[in-house]
Amino acid sequence: MGNLQLTMACWNYDRTRALQEGRIRPDGIDLTYLPLPVEETFFRMLRHREFDAAEMSLSSYVVSLFSDNPPFIAIPVFPSRFFRHSCIYVNSHSGIREPNDLIGKRVGTPEYQMTAGVWIRGILSDEYGVPVDSVEYFTGGEEEPGRPEKLRLDLPSNIHVHPIGPEKTLSAMLDSGEIDALYTARMPSCFARGSQNVRRLFPNYKEVEQAYFQKTRIFPIMHTVVIRRDVYEKHPWVAQSLMKALAQAQQEAYADLYQTAALKLMLPWLTSHVEETRAVMGRDFWPYGFEANEATLAVFLRYSYEQGLSKRLLQPRDLFAPETLESFKI
């Protein structure tokens, strides 16, 4: 009997490239790796279940667990992590100078349930006293009109979310002052082109984010990897096989960052950047596995519950295939 044929959709990351290029092969699997943009992967997996496994928004995955028949099960691998203080943009004429000035303001976010927004709202609440229900949210396309929520929301009455008009975009609304701020994952075009009407809430975001990590030990998780539940139930060994291969690919990426004979990435001071990151966050600054991430996941799950997305407070171990909760030693 031959290997199992599986498809996996995931962006073109350094930490997964060895799977994409076939240098690392999951045990017992012939993997077709589709390097798709994250928004496309999420939409196609959430709406149509097109792939056997996929990178998945952590927030969307958590919301999906409250379905009558949850369609996915995750493994504790996290291809995307990002400190999001840098991703809060404000209109320069809105009167917002510090975080608590956001209270009472009109805030755009492409989707209320998107992971970046969950982290931003939670951090603003925990660290800066900006309650989640103290602003009015506007959702829709950031650069192109017509972006819907990927999953249906059923929010508490104290949280107000409004879709923007069918011809509007959040970037243009921020630039014009129609909204006061934007919580997003992608840098809006109005900021990228240097509009004088838009600035970051935290211009010194690197220092702010490092201080946040040193205080909380949290490096926010954006995406995990999910397996279609019907595939997992038929072949439960797939969870460990994929997790092992993804961990091996990540170790290759770690090594590539610290090659000094010739730089593998186009950053002149890459070596210094790696050494600075290790000094702040340790050598395994992007950890995979359950135990190393349990505390961070618990905070995210609390945010999801507090923000009306989760119908009950989940525990981190509720997210993953049981076989993947313990690491094995070779």
Closest CA to 56 of 72, 35, 34: 72
Residue 182: DSSP 8-state: E
| The pairing of beta strand 136-139 with beta strand 106-108 | parallel
Last residue of a domain, one of 197, 216, 235: 216
Q: Please give the full DSSP string across 27-40, using - where no structure is assigned.
A: TTEEEEEE---HHH
pLDDT in tens, 107-165: 999 999 999 999 999 999 999 999 999 999 999 999 999 888 777 788 999 999 999 98
Last residue of a domain, one of 216, 236, 269: 216
Last residue of a domain, one of 216, 235, 269: 216
Which pLDDT score is estimated for 330? 44
Residue 48 three-state SS: helix
Closest CA to 195 of 213, 210, 212, 182: 182
43/96 same-domain check: no
Q: Identify the residue with better confidence: 150 or 303.
A: 303
179/123 same-domain check: yes
| The pairing of beta strand 88-91 with beta strand 181-183 | antiparallel
59/93 same-domain check: no
171 burial type by CB count under 10 A (0-12 exposed, 13-18 middle, 19+ buried): buried
250/205 same-domain check: no
Write the single-letter amino acid at 220. P
In this structure, is residue 271 part of a structural domain? Answer: no
Half-sphere exposure of 263 (CA within 13 A, CB side): 10
Query: Is residue 329 predicted with pLDDT exceeding 60?
Result: no
Mean pLDDT of 66-71: 95
Q: Are 16 and 77 in contact (CB under 8 A)?
A: no
Average pLDDT, the chain: 96
Which pLDDT score is estimated for 148? 80
In this structure, is residue 267 part of a structural domain? Answer: no
Which pLDDT score is estimated for 41? 97
Q: Give the distance, in angstroms, between the CA of residue 224 and the centroid of all CA atoms in the same chain.
A: 8
Helix (H) or strand (E) holding 192: helix 189-192
What is the number of residues in the chain? Answer: 330
Which pLDDT score is estimated for 310? 96
In this structure, is residue 259 part of a structural domain? Answer: no
Mean pLDDT of 35-50: 95
122/179 same-domain check: yes
Determine the Cα–Cα distance for residues 322 and 317; give it in Å rounded to an integer: 8
In this structure, is residue 272 part of a structural domain? Answer: no
77/225 same-domain check: yes
- Tell me which residue range forms the domain holding 134: 85-216
Which pLDDT score is estimated for 173? 97
* CATH number, residue 116: 3.40.190.10
Mean pLDDT of 169-198: 97
pLDDT in tens, 240-267: 999 999 999 999 999 999 999 999 999 9
71/98 same-domain check: no
Query: Is residue 48 predicted with pLDDT exceeding 70?
Result: yes
Helix (H) or strand (E) holding 298: helix 294-306
Query: Is residue 327 predicted with pLDDT exceeding 80?
Result: no
Query: Is residue 74 predicted with pLDDT exceeding 70?
Result: yes
230/243 same-domain check: yes
Exposure string over 96-135, b if 16+ CB within 10 A, otherwise e:
beebebbeebbbbbbbbbbbbbbbbbbbbbeeeebebbbb
Tell me, yes or no, if the pTM score tops 0.85: yes
Q: How many domains does the chain have?
A: 2
Q: Are 68 and 231 in contact (CB under 8 A)?
A: no
